[in-house]
Amino acid sequence: MAVTRADVAHAAGVSPSVVSFVLNNGPRPVSADARSRVLDAVKRLGYRPNAIAAALRGGSTQTIGFLTPNRSNPFFGELAEALERQFNDHGYLVLSANTYGHRATEERLLRSFVDRKVDGLLVSAGTSLVGPSLARVEEPVLVIEDAAGSEGFASVETDDLLDAASSVEHLQSHGHELIGCIVGPPQSRSESQRLAGWQQQQQLFGHPHGDEMIAYADQSSNGGATAAELLLNNHGRPATLHGQRPSALFIASDVQAIGVLWACHQLGLRVPEDVALVSMGGTRAAAYTIPTLTTLRQDVEHLAREACSLLLHQIREPETPLIHLRILGNLVIGETCGCAL
């Protein structure tokens, strides 16, 4: 049976209210002798205050709810870890939940977080929660990496369009013109921006940028492998329409790129000699592939730091104007693009 405040009071020879004054440092003063007896009883009995009840009395649970599509994707996994570190440093616990992109699951988890009285909510890309759903939430909301219907909420995001264009530009600098694109589900704004970056950069130089050069895939290694086989097969649409397969691929995520590397091996294609690759994300896994990935690094630590700062500011100053931050990434050169290292 759990030790109660009344048990501590009995052991210390004081009233339960005195125990409360000692443990909460007020609001009334307690003599040194009584304080010593209470603390000794707490230690002897192993009493642990009810943190949730205490937080609710103070108007805060010191918790943040984080809805993410899938932490098995290294980018979202590393982002979740970075957010946890940032909020933990400020005394907050992050409760994260995978939605897997299912609308009903997202709605259920959103209600669950609200019922648990979280102090604020983080919603990341890949969720389909729309404005009306989030608008019903009284707690401060911050959108990370954009989600559908995020207008009206503070946000922190990477500049997916410009980052994608920079990735494709690097492949073009190696002389590639027939550059295929592997991207996630187009209903995600983040993925649609990466697709647009590829298209605009290809169009800028008059290079092929039609539907035949695009393969949509789940954000998984399996998705990347399947998409690569479609684009790189000698009987695929690019080879059929252009007389040859793509000499390079822009891949919207590192996790997909890992599958692409496997597919290239299965197809007997050398990377980067036969096909060059550049992906996006800059996750830790990119440095441990063979060959190592050239990837547009989107700094999750920077993203998490800014997200934490903005959401805590909203929690403490609820009337503050909404802020929208956009962060550019940087290209990390590996071995898949053809650069000499």
Name the pLDDT band for 260 (thresholds 50, 70, 90): very high
Who wins on pLDDT, 147 or 294? 294
The confidence score (pLDDT) of residue 70 equals 73
In degrees to the nearest 10, what's the CA dihedral of 256, 260, 261, 265?
150
Q: Do 5-49 and 160-298 come out as alike in CATH topology?
A: no
Confidence band, pLDDT 50/70/90 cuts, at residue 130: low
Query: Which pLDDT belongs to residue 280?
Result: 96
**The domain at 5-49 falls in which architecture?**
Orthogonal Bundle (1.10)
Output the pTM of the full model.
Answer: 0.77
Residues 155-204 pLDDT 10s: 898 899 999 999 999 999 999 999 999 999 877 778 899 999 999 999 99
* pLDDT (0 to 100) of residue 169: 98
Whole-number pLDDT of residue 117:
86
Q: Is the pLDDT of residue 52 over 60?
A: no
pLDDT at 168: 98
Average pLDDT over residues 202-215: 97
Average pLDDT along the chain = 88
Fold (CATH) for 63-159+301-328: Rossmann fold (3.40.50)
Cis (ω within 30 of 0) for the bond into 321? no
In whole angstroms, what is the distance from residue 250 CA to residue 215 CA? 11
Q: How far apart are the C-alpha atoms of 211 and 186, rounded to whole Å?
A: 13
Between 106 and 165, where is the model more confident? 165
The secondary structure element, H or E, covering residue 260 is helix 254-267
Question: What pLDDT sits at residue 176?
Answer: 98
Average pLDDT of span 93-121: 85
Reply yes or no on whether the pLDDT at 331 is more than 90. yes
- Does residue 224 carry a pLDDT above 70? yes
Model confidence pLDDT, tens digit, residues 262-321 = 999 999 999 999 999 999 999 999 999 999 999 999 899 999 999 999 999 999 888 888
| 57 vs 229, more confident | 229
Q: What is the per-residue pLDDT for 53?
A: 56
Top CATH class of 160-298 equals alpha beta
Bridge partner residues of 155 (DSSP)? 143, 324
Statement: residue 54 has pLDDT above 80: no
In DSSP terms, 158 is beta-bridged to 327
Q: Which of 72-81, 275-284, 330-339 has the lowest mean pLDDT?
A: 72-81
Percent of the chain with pLDDT over 70: 91
Which is higher by pLDDT, 304 or 73?
304
* CA-based nearest residue to 294, from 246, 250, 231: 250
Q: What band does 126 get if pLDDT is binned at 50, 70 and 90? A: low
pLDDT at 50: 63
C-alpha to C-alpha distance for 107 and 324, rounded to whole angstroms: 24
Q: What is the pLDDT of residue 301?
A: 92
Q: Where are the domains of the chain?
A: 5-49, 63-159+301-328, 160-298
The pLDDT value given to residue 129 = 59
Q: How far is CA 280 from CA 57, 204, 219, 283, in A?
A: 45, 20, 12, 9
Residue 131: pLDDT band (50, 70, 90) is low
Comparing 5 with 195, the larger pLDDT belongs to 195
- pLDDT over 70 (residue 26): no
Which pLDDT score is estimated for 21?
Answer: 81
Mean pLDDT of 91-116: 84
State yes or no: pLDDT of 60 exceeds 90.
no
User: Helices marked H in 13-73 — which ranges?
Assistant: 16-23, 32-45, 51-57
